[in-house]
Amino acid sequence: MPEPFQILIVEDDPQEADLLSQELADNGYKILWAEDGEKALQLIKQSLPDLVLLDILLPNMDGFEVVKQIKDNAKTHIIPVIMVTALADMDERVKGLDSGADDYITKPFKTFELLARVRSMLRIRKMYLDLTSTRTKLKESKAENSLLKKEIQGKYSFENMIGASPAIKKAFYLMEKAIESPLSVLIQGETGTGKELVARSIHYNSTRKDKPFIAQNCAALPETLLESELFGHKRGAFTGAVADKKGLFETAHKGTIFLDEVGDTPLSLQVRLLRVLQEGEIRRLGEVNPIKVDVRVIAATHQDLKAEIEAGRFREDLYYRIQTFPIPLPPLRDRGGDIPLLAEYFLRKYCQRLGKECRFSPESISLLEKYPFPGNIRELENEIARALTLAPDQESITPDLFSEAIRYAADAPVHKQGTVQAVTDQMERSLVQKALEEFKGNRTRAAEKLGLSRRGLLNKIRRFGLE
């Protein structure tokens, strides 16, 4: 059985303290009591309680000064403090929060209200301890990414990949199996879920790790240029072909080629991709003789390829060739518990780059966990980098440093009915619509604000009927 949480009650009225102690003890908490601020600070130093319930009106030293000293101390600043007061003056509440209190409750209060606030603060404390442990390991490690993988992910460890949720662990398991196999891999996931990172992790942990890893976004080039880029060309094959050129498949010989957004490949090129997968050979533009290549193909897409087949935009035979070993990547909204881990990882990353030392406030982590992140991990990383750039050195990252989209999530109406997906879709639609209105229909700027690629934004516009 785990040890009960220890709560320090700071209250100068013995009867009030006794009543509060009894209510909390009846719910399994261990209680300490201090009748004034000086004794409270001594007990905190000696016992490091899990939570402090602090009255504002105390003899000699008021609650504002007590909470300030708790939060200014490096050893005690993560202890959550709930200020307890009979004062109804909003200015006093604000002063308490400004002094460092994490929450407040006004007398008289219901027992269930007090217990709800206590449980909420203790959850935040546990999260903070987990993040502090991760931060310490990062600082002590000479190979930060390697240690973080081992401690958080166990055997599901892949370079620069963070996560402990069941959804991402399943993906790690499939990645591990893909490393051991020579089969073609199809990575499926929304924009920003880390598809290229998965492909690189598979390659650099496989027997091909000493050979080239070549990546090409199939949606980034027009058809003619993409064909030349993938398969190469002979001098004079078309206007501007002034010299022979190797294609990416030749360059990746004995290694891996990553075809991102393979669902956007033109139908005419899909035939040539199929031949590479079936016969292991390519033909440069303008040449007759085929060239043998030994290349492992890892493809990725955010699209539903079966729907694309039904629509006549993707070849069924190619689909069954590239999806021999499918790996679905979950969106960030389905990775419960991973946002604090990822946020801490990105915070350390950008603290090192910017030469800063900052931490998250509990409110900022709570806000991040409420947001659906339509742009997934990429959007989260951009938010952390932006917030840290705005934050003063040695200070906490607070909610006001996040983008409007993140802050808006906290004020969005709570939907009590419907599936999780339906509620998420409604939130995403609202955010996309608001961004388009803000930039007067400029999709490029709206995509940047939302942390999406332009194509990713276009897909959401079509999906939500905002055209």
How far is it, in rounded angstroms, from Cα 86 to Cα 57? 9
How far is it, in rounded angstroms, from Cα 253 to Cα 338? 37
Instruction: Give me the pLDDT at residue 266, please.
Output: 92
How far is it, in rounded angstroms, from Cα 442 to Cα 426? 21
pLDDT in tens, 260-287: 999 999 998 999 999 999 999 999 888 8
Contact between 277 and 320 (Cβ < 8 Å): no
How far is it, in rounded angstroms, from Cα 15 to Cα 265? 75
Three-state SS string across 30-44, please?
EEEEECCHHHHHHHH
The mean pLDDT of 129-138, rounded to a whole number, is 61
Kindly tell me the burial class for residue 226, based on how many C-beta atoms sit within 10 Å of its own C-beta (0-12, 13-18, 19 or more): buried
Among 55, 300, 83, 68, smallest CA distance to 171 is for 300
Among 219, 296, 286, smallest CA distance to 252 is for 296
pLDDT in tens, 374-388: 889 999 999 999 999
- Domains in the chain, CATH or no CATH each: 6-129 (3.40.50.2300), 180-330 (3.40.50.300), 333-463 (1.10.8.60)
How far is it, in rounded angstroms, from Cα 58 to Cα 292? 83
The fraction of the chain above a pLDDT of 70, given in percent, is 86
Instruction: Give me the pLDDT at residue 448, please.
Output: 80
pLDDT in tens, 334-363: 988 899 999 998 999 899 999 999 999 988
Q: CA of 51: how far to CAs of 59, 100, 187, in Å? A: 21, 14, 45
pLDDT in tens, 208-230: 988 999 999 998 888 888 988 99
Whether 410 has a pLDDT exceeding 90, the answer reads: no
Q: How confident is the model at residue 437 (pLDDT cuts 50, 70, 90)?
A: confident
Q: Is the pTM of this model over 0.75?
A: no
